[in-house]
Amino acid sequence: MKHIQKIVSLLVTISACWIGLLKASIIPHSYTWLLPIYLIVSLGCYGLLMVGYGLMIFPTCPKEAELLQKDIMEAKEFFKQRGVDVDSD
């Protein structure tokens, strides 16, 4: 929920700045109309950066890791009973 609030506040701030630039005519209108496109591209880059960062510092879940190891051991036993060699040694 915090990320949504950050993004919405960022969008409101940028929209206010964009409208201010349109009204004040500080930047030529031909450039000012491109600002929403730059905003969309910037938000896309921000999203990709957050996904990449999240993957780099992937949080560990010890309880899920234990459950996964238990499932792996059960699967190995199941396949050993069926005559499949599953040892990676």
DSSP letters, 11-41, are HHHHHHHHHHHHHHTSS-HHHHTTHHHHHHH
In a domain, 52, yes or no: yes
What total number of domains does the chain contain?
1
In a domain, 53, yes or no: yes
In a domain, 67, yes or no: no
Which residue range is the domain that position 50 belongs to?
Answer: 2-58
Residue 12 CB-density burial (10 A; 0-12 exposed, 13-18 middle, 19+ buried) = exposed
User: Which pair of tokens denotes residue 35?
Assistant: 């600002």
Whole-structure pTM value? 0.45
pLDDT in tens, the chain (89 residues): 688 898 899 889 988 887 887 788 777 777 777 877 887 898 899 999 999 988 888 777 788 888 989 999 999 999 989 888 877 65
DSSP state of 76: H
